[in-house]
Each structure stands twice: as structure tokens, then as C-alpha cells.
Structure 1
Amino acid sequence: MNSYNIEIECCNSIEKAEITIAKGALNIKYGPNGLGKSTIARAIVAAVANDGGLDNLKPFKYRAFPGQHDPVVRGVENIGSVLVFDDSYVSQFAFQRDEVLKNSFDIFIKTETFNVAMQEIESLLAGIKSTFDGNDALSSAISDLKELRDAFGVTKAGALSKSSKGYKAFGSGNKIENIPVQLKPFEAFIKSEQPASWIAWQTKGNAFLDLSDNCPYCASDLREPEKKDTAKQVAKEYDSKAIEHLNTLQAVINRLGKYFENDCRENLEKITKSKIELSPEETNFLSALRGDVETLLAKLEGLRSISFFALRDVEKIEDEIAKLKIDLSLLEKLNSTDTKSVVDPINEKLEELVGRVGELKGKINQHKRQIERSIVENQKSINGFLNSAGYKYSVVIKPESDSYKMKLVHNDYDEHIESASQHLSYGERNAFALVLFMHQVLSEKPGLAVLDDPVSSFDKTKKFAILNELFRGKASLRDTTVLMLTHDIEPAIDVIRSVKRLFQHPKPTAYFLSSKNGTVTETEIKEADIQTFAQICAENVRSLSDEVIQCIYLRRHFEILNDLGEEYNYLANLLHARPNPIRKTASGDVSMTTEEVSRAVVGVKAFIPNFDYSAILSVINDKSEMKRRFQNAGVGYDKLQLFRIYKEVHQPADDGDDILQKFVNESFHIENEYVMQLNPHKFDNVPEYAVQECERVISAP
């Protein structure tokens, strides 16, 4: 199958819709606002995701009937995945604080080529990493060593910090091992598994000792002063936080014991069980031990995290790898048999890597060059668009610790912009985000990319420039299945009329969407359907039989051609129901002369041979006849123009319909100014709700 034939039922305002999406091509679906284009997009996305989101689209009128009229989407089973560009994409994914597009590394750098190169480099480093993989004992030891290192903080001068957890725990002696005589009755509590919790609880209770002679804990008699003093002595001797640190560190030291050299282990045990304050020699010993631990940890962490990113910016990779070798003879406090049993296998794997360092260097340098090419290509592509669009911004892809991120910079400012959405205009954000979206689609290769009204906010030049950027050239969406939903006719016109210039392969399609009573259908827009409005007006004057509607189109024909002479003026008088035609001048209204009227009649009859001013005026002045002609008109555009005339002639007073009148006048009269358009008799782009509102007003008694 070369296309997806999609059926949608019972989704928001859509009772039924059928659309076709050609695979590997741009599919433009053009239709008026309010038709349900965004619902089509949401329905497809929800059906493909199959995550229950389709239920949220059930029309409100059916929500009181569970199990009936549930949303249904058919024909999307083989799409696979969908990416959508809409307002939420701009707000959720584009212009993040630390990168211009969320997951920019995955989108711009992490290509198949990148992944293959990373696998080749990782295979060379696999030997070292294998010594860590699944080694729970080593992982636990590293975790304990980190806790020990962090507990014994040092000052800038390298001395043991008195504010560190370790010093607070052992600095004044080990008071768990050395309980004061008067507190011996509490020994079971002080030496429990969680002495800090008990001490905190006991200390809080002291606040109630003076309320009574009874113990606040057990209500026994405490009239003897020494009993209360003993209870208060716990808080004086013990700080719950210091005891908590002591208890935790003692457990860590016990677990790490086998990794300490014998003399070190003995000295550490003496220090941690000492009764008195740490001596200078003991603090020096702890500082030196911390230094050895810090060095060993740095080596182990460097080996465990060795990767392309760790070696990416290293000038001499062979020297960096050689520095990772662990020499236990220089870490005498950790030079134990157990430490050696851990370190030796790692050093052996490191030696194997040193033997292949030339191959590793080659792979890393080759990978770096490939990444640099990707960076240059992506920056060039996006910055070329930004420059051609006149935006004073550019993007740069910068290395991070373990990735790359695309940043936004202003041409007058070197630092990247964190709050890009605050500096870019609405149009700039949308245009820029569209280009970023294109790159995300190229990276993720979804089965379908949906553009929900992407370019309607841009002027004509930028619309074409963006379409050109999105769908022309190698790095574009030209071979991607794209569904563009829009209420703007210009993209369809540009694409269909400029297909040979804008698209090389494959040929895009454009369809007009219309809705009647909730049923959405589509009609293909072909190149022959795109005409100037003057052509459309002339064609409809020739083909239609209703003389009022003929005059409406003929007047627009002269207006579009800027031929505002006697014919145009004569028809304008008729459609304003003036029995005596006038000319508007700077000094006021002046009646048209007999000669002017005669010339105007000749000009009009060249298009409408049976033209009769008086007969058509009678029709316009006949309220019921105008109602009948409005009801008989089969095209929304004709209905709106007849409604304008009817309102002016038969309901001129303000009756609360000024908003509708403004919509009719501006949207389908004054602003109907595109050079190229579709004939409304084949492509009725007037929203159904607007026609229904006109019918309500004109049918009022």
C-alpha cells in the first residue's frame, strides 16, 4: 500500500471523517477553522499510541452513554509512531533553559554512525569495565571508601577539619566504648544498634524532669537529687548527632577493615576506641589515611568511568591511561592482601589496554572528527535558515561532560541564552521550532510527522522560505510521511504550483477538507484548481444563473482588477439597493449621469447579457425572495454575500449581531485578497458554524 486510508468516528465535533495520507510525501489538508483539524491530529496520535487517550475525544453529547458512540480510528495500525508539531511542542520541547531543544544530543549527534563508533571504542575499554561489572563487593567498598573520605574532611592546608563528621565523632574520644561510671546503668542503651535515637529521645525528656519528682519516662520516684542529675548527665556527655556519626563511621571502618594494611588497621582501631581527645599525631594519621583513600578512589572512579567522553579532550591518551595504574606500594595504608586482590586484575586489564592504545587513539580521533562534521553540518543548516530569515541568532553545539548540547546565542552576545522564549518573538519561536522539529523527525524517523497549522502566523515570504527549508534538499522532510493541517490556503498553493521547483521527490498532495453535520470529507486540489480570484469571479459569472450572485462576483471581478470605473460603481449601487445610482465624490454624493449609466450597462452586459438593474433591484428589495435565494444557495460563500445584502437592506438596525456582521464583512469580503485562490463553488471554505449563524439571523421573525 502506498497510502494510509484513515477513518475517524465520534471524536469531539467529528461524527465521521475519512482522509488519505500518501506515504513518503507531504500531505496538505486545508480547511476552515472549527472543522476539527486538530482533532484529526489528536485522534491519529492517540490511536497510534494506544494509551487510552482516544477516550478523551469522546463527544460531550455522548458521554452520558458509556459503551456507546465511543471514539474509533481505523487505518493507523502500520504507522508505528507519530511526532507532532503544534503549540505544545514549542512550549514543551523547544527553547529549554540549558539547550535549544530537549534531547538535542540524541537529535543532532547520536546518529547510527555515532553509535557504531561508540560501540567500537567501548569494546576496547570492555576489559577494564568488566572488572567492575557485577562486582558487588567492589561497589560496596567504593561506596564505603567515599563515605569515609567525605567524613574526614580537611582544611585548605590539608589538616583534619574539626567541623567534619569524623572529627565530631572521634575527636573527643569514643564515648560509646568509654561510658562514664555514673552512666553505666544506661550502657545497654548507649551500646545499642541505634544509640543516637535513644540519646535524642532521652535528652528531650529532660525538659520534663523539673515538673515532678516522678521520672518522666517511668514515673518512678526521683526525689533523691543524684537521680535527676544522672538522668541529665546523658545530655551533657553525649550529642546525639555526634553519636550518630560515630556509630555510622564505626560500621564503615569495620566493613573496610580488610582493605587496610595491618599496622594501619591497628592504629585506626586504637584511635576509634580512644578515651581521650585526638592527639596531633592521630589527626595527621587520619589525614594521611584520607589522602590514600582519596587517591585510590580517584583511580578506581577514573577506571570505572573510562569512556570516549572521559578521553575526548585528552591531548595524550597514552599518558592519561598510564596515570590510571594503581601503585599500592605508594598507598601504604591500603596495601593489604585484600586490596591487592582487587587492584591486580584491574591493573592487568589496564596493561592490555596500553598494548592497544594506538588503536584506541585512532578510534577516538576518528570519532571526534565525525562528530565535528555532524556539528558543522547541523549548525550550518540551522544557522543558514536563521540568517536567511533575518534572525540575529545562531546555534552552537557545545560538548558537555558526557554528551553535547545545542545552545542558542545572539549575534551580539557570546554566552548562550537561557531564556530564549522571552527574547524571540512569537513568529521567530515558531519558525525556529519548526526547523528544530524537522531535525528531530530526521533523527527519530517516525512513521508519521504531523504539522498542525505550522505557518499561518507568518507572512507570505517566510511561509515559502520555511516550506523550502522543510521540504527541499538532502536534510529535509521530502521523503518523510508528513500530514500538514492548515486553515491557510497559501501553503497548498505554493506547494502545488511550485512542485517542480520546491519538491524533487516525491510529489506532494493537497486536499480541501469540508464538514457537513459533523462529517468531514476531502477533495483533492489540483494545479488547475488554483486560479486568480478574478478568474474565479469571471467563471462564476458565466456559469451561475442567480443574477444577484452573478452581480456579486462581477463586482468583485472589477475590484480585484482594480477597475473601479463605471461598471464597478453601478454594480455597487445595485447591491446597496439604491434606486438611483450615485457617485461618491469629495464634495458628496452625485447622481450618475445618463451617459455614465449607459456605459456601465454596456460593460456589465458584456458579462451578463440579460442584466436588468430594475429587475435585480426588485429582487433585493423583496425580503422573502432574498430569504428564499439565501436558502437555495448551495455554497457558503454565496450565502454570506447574500446575507450581507439582506442585513443591510432588511435589518439595518443593530440587533446584537455586530460580531457576526464583522466576521462576514472582514473575513469573506474585505480580506478576501489572495491573488491565487480556490473556487468556492468547488471548495466551500466558509465554516459551517458561520453559515448556521447567518441562517439563524435571517430566519428570525
Structure 2
Amino acid sequence: MDETKIKISNCNNIKNGEVSISPGKLNIKYGINGTGKSTLSTALELISQGKSLDILRPFDALEETIPVIEGGEQFSKVSVFNENFVNDVVFKEDEVIENAFEVFIRTQDFDEKQRELNEKLKTLTIDINSEDIVVNLKAKLDQIRGKFEFNKGNKSIKKNTNYKTIIKKENIFNIPKGLEKFTPFFSDNSICINWVDWKTKGKSFSDKEICPYCGENLSANFDQESILFSEAFKKTEVTNLSKILNDFENLNDYVPTEKLDILTSCIKEQKDEKTINAILYSFLTEYFYIEDKLNTITNFNQKIYDPNSPKQLDKILSDMKIEKSVFHYLGSESFFEVVDFINEKINELIQITVDIKIAIGKLQSVLTKTISSSIKDINDFLDSAGISYHLSIELNSSGEARAVLKYITGEEQYNVSQIRKHLSWGEKNAFSLILFMFYSISIGADLIVLDDPISSFDINKKYAIMHRMFSKQTGLYPRSLYNKTVLMLTHDFEPIIDFGIIKKMPSDTIDIKYIKNNKGVLEEKSVDLENDVKSVIEELKTHIEDTDLCMIHRVAFLRKYIEHEGIDEFEEAYDVLSSLIHGRATCKYKDCTLMPEDIVAKGIQDIQKWITDFDYDYLITNIYNEEAIVQLYFNESNNYLKLQLFRALFEICPSKEIKENDALLKFIHESYHIENDYAYYLDMIKFETVPEFIIDTINSYMIKTYNS
């Protein structure tokens, strides 16, 4: 695939610029601090999230200036390793990373086994709601729902309005003495409720002492009769009682006649409360039992059981069966026909659970192997990086995963809470990078950005991190950034050496470019690993022999070459070059004493082995003077060569202003000498600079292998 061009403008210190990203490769963008690397990574992240780039607007920009990034639209999911990731995603209290299941466990293999299980679970449903015999039963039972309740513990009936209506002694079936003449109205179900309501309301018109309907005089006992009626009968009570009786009688298909008579006798006959309670309690116990069973069966799905315990599936299905011996009131042939139908459906499911348990077993196997693989993978990395902690993944019965940290000391392990307070800065960031790798893969990031990821680590951690992140994995669940689209923005040259020169990755999997910000214009230049990256010695020799270069540069490069090779071997040549560089008319030592003629001759003879036309007198007269160097400086376009010319000028014409700028002066001097970081180091024998964990690993191997 062709590389993607990313155009960026008006973002922080980038006025405009363009960089390229090659898909499926490690794209290394090497540049000094201040180039705009973090600005680029932030812009890519914001645009992938559909967020505004306003926070990147330059401070000196006009109000109408709009930050823009174009060309990365295909990167819909960009994952960026930066301070935000370390602060927001990892090391929250006692968890290593949030959403550990997705990050460490969910793999393609896991998803495939999960889909296989889900397909089988689709068959594990009891579609009873479409069967007429079940639908009819549920419809009749639903009429009773909510009318009666048990108290907490299910040992007694809650005395709600419906219960109180039933146990009331006087009702339309048990008419009080003195009101027997109204029996025809009470016994007529079609008018009973409305008649009670009409008669109760008619009482308000009796103050005329005549019947409000026929106009006849009221009887002498009318008032007493009215009081008795209003105390015995209310429309709501009559209505409730009629509905309850109707609901009971509607169960005639499922309750045998003799049992239905007992149930309705609680309403139609005068019975004491204890008897009514005993009858209703027995009936309601059966009702709530069948209702609960039907609800459980209707709602049955894969969430009801624990996928980590397949043995539970048989028990859950068996527990859903309806026990016929429970029923006495609900006990007709029609009712038991429904029960037998449902139980047979459950038996059919039990027969197919063998396949489902096999699928669950496969899923569990993947789960166990994935967790084990992820733990070993990360802990091997922590060991290789000398970090004295191990990761542990805990999975609860609901399948929720937590990644926790344990401190390792000898054979002991200790749980770590408040992780941020225990990890050192280097440990936290090194660990975060590996977690970021797992995280980016888990979310399916199509562009992974590493913003100066390893510059601050020691060389051992750098190697451990880079090796793990980009190695071609061959394990059970290989996960690395190899062949992913990765943008590494760095001012560290070591990734180029490791991946490009030492070839820890195939050359066709990396793309290396040097980026530079020239007064707001971001530019990139391809790095040819064969020709552009050389050892210092090879590069210096190339420049020394380059006759197209000004003699000042060839002299400077030769002097650095001698420093690398060893000044003692070419001491005379080094002293002659130093005298020339410092603008001395004749060859002198540093203390300004004249160099002996034979020493000068020996020095020039050695110099001419590299620079055949070297002539001290000509150079000091025509080249190493203020006028000539100034002209060369302003004719030069290469910044590095301009710096060398300035250093030569500074030796001839010292500047107080430059001398007072220590940082600039150090940089100028080191352009003429080998850099101090490469020239000096601690005595490796005296200070034993080998990391302790490295020697511990070697000792362990030697003892295990040879000290038997």
C-alpha cells in the first residue's frame, strides 16, 4: 500500500508541514526536541476522536487562524502513548489497567469460541410463550397477580385490602339480618355492584321522608336499615369481592371442582378467619410456586448460569422442572398436561447440554491459556527489564477480570495497592509501554503513536522494551507491534541503530525519516540506512577524503578522527592540527612554545597520509584568517558546516559574548571534538556498572548449568 501523507498547519510551533506514514511498518521520525513531535501526535489523536484542534492554536496566531491536519482520515482509531495514557488509563489505585478482560484476555480465538458457544445457547431456550396450553394457563394466573402477597419469609399472608374483604363476615353472599329483602339484588351479578352504589348514594335524598324514587312514605325503620346497609356494603368492597370470586372461578379448568368449591367457600360461606387463612395460604403457596417457575423458564438465557462452571447447567435446568407433588388445589388433568409439557421441554434441553458443556469447556480452556500466556509474557518482560514486580490477573465468578500488581522479593509476593506510590518513575513508564502495546492491540488501533517513548530510560530498559514491543512473536497468542502501523517520534538515535543498523527488524518493516522544523516549516528527509548511517570512524574518513569540502572542514574531521583512534599514536599530527586551528602563524604547543622542526615534519607527514595537499603555511595565510572564514560562512548553507566555520573563526577572533554563553560554547567545542558522552565513562571494573538483575540472571544460569 502507498504511504499516507499527513499535512499539518497552524499547530503550536508548526506553521505548515508534511510527514508520511507507511502502513504496516514502524515509522521512525527522528528529530531534536522542539521539532513539533508531540504536537503532531496530539493532533492525530484529537482528529481521530473528532475533537477540535483549538488547543494547538499558536499563541501568536490571529483569531481567524485555524489549526488543521489533513490526510489521516483513514486512521479512525489512533492510540497514543504519552503522559495522558500513563495518567488516565494505567495504575488506578490497586489496578494495573482498566478493562483488563478486553486488554489481556479477549483474543480472536476467545471470540471464536464465544461465538460457537452463543450459537449453541440459542438452542437452549424454552419457547413456551407461543404454546396455547401455556398461554391460557398464564392468562388465568395473571388475573390473580398482585391481589395477594406473602409477608417477609413467606410464612403468612399480608393483610391487604383484598384479604380483609374476604374475611369480612357480612358480604353479598352473607346478608345481615334485616336486609334479607334485598337478596334478589345481591344475587343478580349483572346489577349487584351498580345497585349497591345507587342505593348508597340515594341515602342523601331521604331528608324529605319520602322515597326519592316512588314518592311513598319511608318505613319507620328506614334509618336503622340504612345504617346497617352502609356498614355492611361499600361499592369498592363489593367490586373487589366480585372480581376475586370471578378470578377463582376462572381457574375451573385447572382446579378440580371439589377444590374450587373449597376455595370459593371462603367468599360464599361464613367461615372463621383461621380457616379462610389456611385455605388461601395453601392455594397461594401453589400459585406463587407455579408463577415463579414460569417466570424463570420464560427468562432463561445464557446469563442465568456461570460460564466458568459448566456443571451448574444441568442443575439449573433440573431446578426449572415443575414438581407435580406440590399441587393440591391446582391439580386438574388440564393443569398437569401443561406441567408435563413444560417438563418434557426441559428434558429435551438437558439432552443437548453435553454439546454446550463441551463448548463451554473449550471457552474455558482458551480463557485459562490466554490468561496464563498474558501473565507469563508481561512478567518475563518485567524480569528482563529488572523490574521487581509481577502482574496477576484475577477472574471472578462473573467473568470480570482485574489486573493487579505483586511485589516480588525472593520467594515471597505481596499485593501492591496505590501502585503509583510504589513504582519508580522509570518502572512506571517502562511497564506502561508494554501495557500500552496490549491496550492498543485490544482496541484495534489502526495507528499507534509512540511519542518519545524510551529517551529517558537506561540502555538495558531501552533494549528490553523495544525488543518486546517489536519482536516477531511466535507464542500461543502472539501480540506485538510487529507489522502494525506505528509512528515513533523520537530524539533518541538508538532505535535507528537497533532496528536499522543491527537489523533487529527486517528492513522492509521499518521506514526511517529525519524531521526538522525550520522556522515553523516541518520537513522530513528519508534516511538511507546503507549510506546515511555509518560508524563515526567511517563517516570521518569519508569527509576527510572529500576534496569538495573546504580545508577547514577536512582538518576538523581529521582532528576528531585522531581523537577516536587514539591521540598517542598520532600525537605529532594532532599537535600540528591544533596549532593550525588556533590560528598560530608557526606550529606551537598549547603553552605557545615552539614545536621542534622534526616533530612538525613528522606531524605534517602523517597528516598528508590523509590530506595529500596539506600545506600549513598556505592554510594559515590564506584560509585561517578572519576575512576568509567570514566569507566561507556566509556562502555556506549547511548548518553543521556553518558551525565548524564559526568554531574556526572563534579561535582566531574570540568573542566575549560567546564565551559567556556556556551551553552554546559546549556545543561549538564538541563539533570539533568527539562528544563527551562517547569519550568518557566510569571505570567499568571499579564501579561494576552491570545491573544487578543481569548478573543475578547469569549467576542463576551458571549455578543451574554447571554447579551440579
TM interval, short-chain normalised: 0.5 to 0.7
Task: Confirm or deny: 8 A CA contact 2:29 2:512 kept in the other structure.
Answer: yes
In structure 1, the partner of 2:91 is 95
Letter in 2 for 1:10: N
Deviations 1:636-688 (A, max 9, x none): 2333344455556522468763344355557996646569xxxxxxxxxxxxx
Separation (CA, whole Å) in 2 of partners of 1:429 and 1:617: 60
Deviation at 1:486, TM superposition (A): 0.9
Separation (CA, whole Å) in 2 of partners of 1:552 and 1:668: 6
Identity of aligned residues (%): 30
In structure 2, the partner of 1:198 is none
Among candidates 517, 520, 535, match of residue 519 of structure 2: 517
1:418 and 2:417 aligned? yes
CA RMSD in angstroms, aligned pairs only: 5.3
Separation (CA, whole Å) in 1 of partners of 2:525 and 2:572: 39
In structure 1, the partner of 2:562 is 558
**Counterparts in 2 of 1:92 and 1:331: CA distance versus 1, 3 Å:** farther
**Counterparts in 2 of 1:59 and 1:373: CA distance versus 1, 3 Å:** same
Match runs of 1:297-308 below 5 Å: 307=303
Match runs of 1:95-174 below 5 Å: 95-126=91-122
In structure 2, the partner of 1:600 is 603
In structure 2, the partner of 1:568 is 574
1:657 and 2:661 aligned? yes
Separation (CA, whole Å) in 2 of partners of 1:304 and 1:324: 9
Structure 2 residue matching 1:16: 3-state secondary structure: strand
In structure 2, the partner of 1:508 is 510
In structure 1, the partner of 2:77 is 81
In structure 1, the partner of 2:438 is 439
Task: Confirm or deny: 8 A CA contact 2:585 2:620 kept in the other structure.
Answer: no
Separation (CA, whole Å) in 2 of partners of 1:497 and 1:74: 33
**Counterparts in 2 of 1:671 and 1:423: CA distance versus 1, 3 Å:** farther
Match runs of 1:557-636 below 5 Å: 557-564=561-568, 565-577=571-583, 591=593, 593-594=595-596, 595-608=598-611, 609-612=613-616, 615-616=619-620, 622=626, 626-636=629-639
Letter in 2 for 1:48: S
Task: Confirm or deny: 8 A CA contact 1:496 1:509 kept in the other structure.
Answer: no
Separation (CA, whole Å) in 2 of partners of 1:422 and 1:518: 40
Task: Confirm or deny: 8 A CA contact 1:55 1:71 kept in the other structure.
Answer: yes
Letter in 2 for 1:637: Y
Task: Confirm or deny: 8 A CA contact 1:309 1:403 kept in the other structure.
Answer: no
Separation (CA, whole Å) in 2 of partners of 1:613 and 1:436: 64
Deviation at 1:80, TM superposition (A): 2.8
Structure 1, unmatched stretches of 5+, are 161-166, 171-256, 268-280, 676-701
Letter in 2 for 1:82: V
Task: Confirm or deny: 8 A CA contact 1:11 1:59 kept in the other structure.
Answer: yes
Separation (CA, whole Å) in 1 of partners of 2:506 and 2:317: 51
Match runs of 1:471-486 below 5 Å: 471-474=470-473, 475=478, 476-486=480-490
Deviations 1:434-465 (A, max 9, x none): 22222233333322111111121233444333
**Counterparts in 2 of 1:644 and 1:580: CA distance versus 1, 3 Å:** same
In structure 2, the partner of 1:459 is 458
Larger radius of gyration: 2
Task: Confirm or deny: 8 A CA contact 2:47 2:53 kept in the other structure.
Answer: yes
Give the structure-1-normalised TM-score.
Answer: 0.64
Task: Confirm or deny: 8 A CA contact 2:580 2:587 kept in the other structure.
Answer: yes
Letter in 2 for 1:552: A
Structure 2, unmatched stretches of 5+, are 130-137, 161-246, 249-259, 267-276, 680-708
Task: Confirm or deny: 8 A CA contact 2:121 2:302 kept in the other structure.
Answer: yes
Separation (CA, whole Å) in 1 of partners of 2:507 and 2:549: 43
Structure 2 residue matching 1:531: 3-state secondary structure: coil
**Counterparts in 2 of 1:655 and 1:489: CA distance versus 1, 3 Å:** closer
Match runs of 1:176-575 below 5 Å: 307=303, 310-313=306-309, 317-319=313-315, 321-323=317-319, 351-400=347-396, 401-412=398-409, 413-474=412-473, 475=478, 476-499=480-503, 502-504=504-506, 506-526=508-528, 527-543=530-546, 545-564=549-568, 565-575=571-581
Task: Confirm or deny: 8 A CA contact 2:375 2:391 kept in the other structure.
Answer: yes
Deviations 1:388-426 (A, max 9, x none): 223222222221233223332222343442333333333
Deviation at 1:45, TM superposition (A): 2.7
Structure 2 residue matching 1:380: 3-state secondary structure: helix
In structure 1, the partner of 2:700 is none
Separation (CA, whole Å) in 2 of partners of 1:399 and 1:597: 79
Deviation at 1:523, TM superposition (A): 1.7
Deviation at 1:312, TM superposition (A): 0.8
Deviations 1:315-366 (A, max 9, x none): 554235434657698799999xxxx9x9999978755543322222211111
Deviation at 1:610, TM superposition (A): 2.9
In structure 1, the partner of 2:682 is none
Task: Confirm or deny: 8 A CA contact 1:511 1:525 kept in the other structure.
Answer: yes
**Counterparts in 2 of 1:539 and 1:352: CA distance versus 1, 3 Å:** same
Deviations 1:499-529 (A, max 9, x none): 3xx2358431211112322222222112221
Aligned length: 549
Separation (CA, whole Å) in 2 of partners of 1:378 and 1:469: 13
Separation (CA, whole Å) in 1 of partners of 2:584 and 2:297: 92
Structure 2 residue matching 1:607: 3-state secondary structure: coil
Deviations 1:129-162 (A, max 9, x none): 78899xxx99xx9xx99xx99x96x9xxx999xx
**Counterparts in 2 of 1:15 and 1:304: CA distance versus 1, 3 Å:** same
Task: Confirm or deny: 8 A CA contact 1:303 1:324 kept in the other structure.
Answer: no
Separation (CA, whole Å) in 1 of partners of 2:35 and 2:94: 38
**Counterparts in 2 of 1:301 and 1:578: CA distance versus 1, 3 Å:** farther
Task: Confirm or deny: 8 A CA contact 2:643 2:671 kept in the other structure.
Answer: no
Letter in 1 for 2:112: V
**Counterparts in 2 of 1:329 and 1:459: CA distance versus 1, 3 Å:** same
Deviation at 1:85, TM superposition (A): 1.6
Structure 1 residue matching 2:97: 3-state secondary structure: coil
Task: Confirm or deny: 8 A CA contact 2:24 2:485 kept in the other structure.
Answer: yes
**Counterparts in 2 of 1:359 and 1:427: CA distance versus 1, 3 Å:** same
Separation (CA, whole Å) in 2 of partners of 1:593 and 1:531: 36
Which segment is superposed worse, 419-428 or 360-369?
419-428
Separation (CA, whole Å) in 1 of partners of 2:603 and 2:561: 14
Which segment is superposed worse, 526-535 or 424-433?
424-433
Letter in 2 for 1:454: P
Deviation at 1:313, TM superposition (A): 3.8
